[in-house]
Structure 1
Amino acid sequence: MAFLFNKFQEAVKTLAKNPMFARDPRHLQFEVDVNRLFLYTSYYRLGVNAEEKDAEEIIDMASKASVDEQQKQVQENVHYQLTNMCQAMDSILLPDTANCPSQVPSEAHNYPRRSGLSFAVGTGVASGNKPAVPATRPLTRAELSNKFRDHFRYTLDIRPSQIPHNDAGQGLFLSGEANAGAVLAIYPGVIYSPAYYQYIPGYPRIDACNNYLITRYDGTIIDAKPWRSGGDTREIWNGSDLVDYNAVPSKSQENNSDRAWRMLSKPMKKSYSENFDEVLERRNPLAFGHFANHPQKGSTPNVMICPYDFPLTANDMRVYIPNITFGGEEPITMKRFGSFWFKSRRSGNQVGESPVLKTLVLVSTRSICDEELFLNYRYSNSKKRPEWYVPVDEEEDKRRWS
């Protein structure tokens, strides 16, 4: 298996230089990342009994398939892994139907659809139009994490980072073993499309008091700060956060882009009607992607970001996806011009498309065993970076934010 992985690693390096990616810098980096994810997740899906000819076929596909085709396969590979994980957590958490005949499988997974953002995840709708929280076994988060490890040979721990600087704080650690291409973590929290940027706490300086924001290539921002460290129950969650975001830096620290944003628009306040209740499994042992640190100088990342569009039609998995979308279920199409986003006349959902949650997962880029997980933050070089930030690849940073 190590021999096959070396072939994949060489393919990752070679295909990144392929002329097929020679377009605008930002899209170039997106395509290179999709290509890497295609190779890594396909390698994982081959399994331990893979043959060399299977690996060579996938490498050949990576050099010929379009980016759209590779992207679809990445989504399928990630969804395949998460489906297995969600089914395993069901087997751990849901009551034994043999000993609890009142809860048959058809009831446990027949979730009625609610108006607004999402689907109810319970067996019915509680009073006050709140989704019902189905009964689960009374396990703590730590107990669920240990049982998850029994199924998949690894789980995640949060403890002080091994990076020797004061701002490192807590780090994300893999306990156990995982192969390259494995989905190791989900990035939890509230999802904001560009249409709702103004509602992000602290806007427009949204990152001034929040280190748990991440941006997808399509402009979607996920705020993991409200999720914190999860919880010890399956519960109704609406993304509310009691953390103070009001400590806004003085205007003297603003750059030209910040001033432009303030002139063109004003921050918006959330109202109760914009909080969307979901029944989510707060004990989810994968919901810690926001604790992964940037590697220190001399070390390299062992995970990478993978955009994942979770299909909301997969009702039986919804409770394990630790995200809610701000602003409702119906997407609004936006177009980007430089640093600004504007609403498009086109409908957000095209004919035949199903509603999705635009979230992120972390995928391993090599075999990992009992070590801290490191993610390339790819900070923009147009803004002042923290003293501890050492670029993994300066060219990638430039392309990402060009």
Structure 2
Amino acid sequence: MWRSILSSRFASWVVGFVSLPKERQIQHEMDLQRLYILTQLHKAAAQNRAANMQQLIMKSHSLDLSAVRSEVEASLRQQVLGTAQALHEELVQAGDPALAAARTTAAHARLERQREREASGLRKLLNRVAESRQPPPAASAASALPAAAAAACGAGSSGATQAQTATGTAAAAAGSAAARELSASEVAAALQRRLGFSLELRPSEVPHPEAGTGLFLRGEARAGAVVAIFPGVLYGRTQLAHMPNYPRVDTDNPYLSCRFDQSIVDSKPWGRGDSGPVPGTAPEAASASPLPGPERAVSMSGAEAGQSPNVIEAPLDIALDHPDLDLTSRPWLRAYLPVVQPPMSYDPYGNKYGEEDDGGDDEEAESEEEDEAKERRGRGGEGRKGQRRRAPGELRPWEVLTPPGGVVRLLVLVATRGLRDGEELLQNYRMNPHVARPDWYVVHDAEAEHRRWAKIRALDLGFKGSKTQGPGQGQGAGGGQGTGGANNAG
């Protein structure tokens, strides 16, 4: 019962917003108004019409904050889901087995079966009545594919989508000779064909010795375009004590990004990215690996003196039951939202899982084993392997698919102006002014930083005891390292 309450959207809202200082909310509102203008410019450019900047500014100030937030989220959500759809179609058409999408679809099916078992008698009766009123599904080419391959191409979606993806998936499932994972350069080329731009990593051009690796744009991107997503494991405010090395969470980890609601994205499990499969050797990597290998890296450089940031971070929450997501017909789409959020009762060391939690492990492991065996047979592989024991702290598939409150929480980067080919993405880190910052750090807007990091006056339930130092008090999630590929978003 208590777990259901803690996982509800209301609980997530209470934890995320009740104790936020007024100054932080003011800065968030200012960022929303700016994002509204940028996304409206992007929409106008996509429709080949001119936008009146003065009118957009006036409208952003006249609209209610909830209306501004709704417009911004709708635009960002449409871009993110459109990119996910385009990437999936490219992978399937190229013969990539899209294993992450297949695993996500299989986990979604197991979750639906679990919900069916736990449903009341009245709910089961209503579901059967609703199913009896629906017309029988039309036969399609995807129905003849193996289970894992059909899952990868989105079985149950519209006939047009099935016809479009069945050929590529069948080629991927025909044998090991045809099935291959695309390299990072091939994925980038596919995205550039579909979106007009892609990203690449190379040494930063920012003139300081600790600049490290930079993120560069290939192609062109309009103002207001979502150019990157911070991948990783997202910890809510009440989960910060579960982060590795807490309270010094930035120890050997410059890949931390903080959202407005003080949740933190840890991108370290994603690594630098490579053209091979996800390693999955460590528990944190195994619990945070829904994406294929090629798109697992984001590095960012801070803007130096004389340079202007050309991207702004934006939080984006996507409800799993939102009609735009449509997980019923496209369950594989969740695999392309590269953020995993553990349950609010998450124990990274696996010490708190009792009989209640592990009761369905045997049935789930057997189902996973059968799915993997079918997948190997579809690829011409061998039969069953021995059952893999779940590592401490490793999330079950249904836990990955059901984040707290049923909402996937992302942090994206939005272009603040038109970006040209070869430009490096530069972000204003807005590092915490209450802690020591690197010598190379340049303050671009001191007032915005102080509003962004206004101190909290209410008790934060995520910290155990008053003597424990929180992440925002040291060079933790608030201050961060900021060197090389650091992502101290604010």
TM normalised by structure 2 equals: 0.56
| Contact in 1 for aligned 2:87/2:191 (Cα 8 Å) | yes
Q: Do the aligned partners of 2:317 and 2:409 also contact (CA within 8 Å) in 1?
A: yes
Matches within 5 A, 1:189-228: 189-228=232-271
CA 239–42 in structure 1, closer or farther in 2 if over 3 Å, else same: farther
Whether the 8 Å CA contact 1:165–1:388 is kept in 2: the answer is: yes
Q: Please name the residue that 2:118 is paired with.
A: none
Aligned twin of 1:322: 338
Which ranges of structure 1 fall in alignment gaps of 5 or more residues?
Answer: 1-22, 101-105, 126-133, 243-274, 331-352
User: Taking every aligned residue pair, what percent have the same amino acid on both sides?
Assistant: 30
Does the CA-based 8 Å contact 1:225-1:241 persist in structure 2? no
- Which amino acid in 2 is paired with 1:24? K
Output the amino acid matched with 1:77: S
1:283 aligns to 2:291 (yes or no): no
* 1:371 corresponds to 2:423: yes
1:359–1:53 distance in 2 versus 1, CA, 3 Å: closer
Distance 1:237 1:195, change over 3 A: farther
Query: What is the identity, as a one-letter code, of the residue corresponding to 1:325?
Result: Q
Aligned to 1:161: 204
Higher strand share: 1
Change in CA separation of 1:328 and 1:282 when aligned onto 2, cut-off 3 Å: farther
Question: Which one has a bigger Cα radius of gyration?
Answer: 2
Q: Distance in 1 between matches of 2:51 and 2:429?
A: 35
Give SS of 2:290's match. strand
Match of 2:300 in 1: 292
Give the deviation of 1:368 after TM superposition.
0.8
CA contact (8 A) 1:168 1:293 kept: yes
Distance in 1 separating the partners of 2:73 and 2:282: 25
Which residue of structure 2 lines up, in the alignment, with residue 384 of structure 1? 436
Query: SS of 2:301's equivalent?
Result: coil
CA apart distance, 1:234: 6.4
Q: Confirm or deny that 1:308 pairs with 2:316.
A: yes
Q: Offset at 1:327? A: 2.9
1:400 to 442, 446, 452: 452
Q: Secondary structure at the match of 2:271?
A: coil
1:298 maps to amino acid: G
**Could you say which residue in structure 2 is the equivalent of 1:44?**
42
- Residue 142 of structure 1 is matched in structure 2 by 185
Q: CA RMSD in A?
A: 3.5
After superposition, the Cα gap between the structure-2 partners of 1:83 and 1:241, relative to the gap in structure 1 and judged at 3 Å, is: closer
Q: Distance in 1 between matches of 2:68 and 2:282?
A: 33
Could you tell me how far 1:187 is from its partner in structure 2?
A: 0.2
Q: Distance in 1 between matches of 2:236 and 2:103?
A: 33
One-letter amino acid matched to 2:449:
D
Assess, with a 3 A threshold, how the Cα gap between structure 1 residues 113 and 311 changes in structure 2: closer, same or farther. Answer: farther
Alpha-carbon spacing, 1:198–1:361, altered in 2? closer, same or farther (3 Å): same
**Alpha-carbon contact 1:232-1:283 (below 8 Å) kept:** yes
Separation (CA, whole Å) in 1 of partners of 2:234 and 2:150? 26
How many residues are matched?
306
Shift of 1:373: 0.4
After TM superposition, the structure 1 = structure 2 runs for residues 170-189 of structure 1, keeping only pairs within 5 Å, are 170-189=213-232
> Partners of 2:206 and 2:287 in 1: how far apart?
37
- The 5 A counterparts of 1:58-97 are 58-95=56-93
Secondary structure in structure 2 of the residue aligned to 1:368:
coil
Q: What is the CA deviation profile of residues 102-140 of structure 1, one whole-angstrom value per residue up to 9, with x for unaligned ones?
A: xxxx99978734559xx9x98679xxxxxxxx9675311
* CA shift for structure 1 position 27: 1.5
Superposed displacement of residue 277, structure 1: 6.2
User: What does the per-residue CA deviation read over 1:18-42, in whole Å, with 9 as the maximum and x for residues that have no partner?
Assistant: xxxxx93222111100111111112
CA separation of 1:177 and 1:184: change in aligned 2, threshold 3 A: same
Q: Which whole-Å CA distance do the structure 2 matches of 1:206 and 1:232 have between them?
A: 29
Give the Cα separation in 1 of the matches to 2:25 and 2:305.
27
CA offset digits 1:312-331 (Å, max 9, x no partner): 3433421111111123699x
Residue 31 of structure 1: SS of its match in structure 2? helix
Aligned-partner Cα distance in 1 for 2:449–2:252: 22
Tell me the distance in 1 between the aligned counterparts of 2:274 and 2:111. Answer: 26
> Structure 1 length normalisation: TM-score?
0.67
Task: Assess if the C-alpha contact under 8 Å between 1:181 and 1:364 holds in 2.
Answer: yes
* Deviation by residue 1:287-309 (Cα, 9 ceiling, x = unmatched): 544x1111111111000001011
- TM-superposed CA distance for 1:61, in Å, is 2.8
Counterpart CA distance in 2 for 1:277 and 1:375 is 25
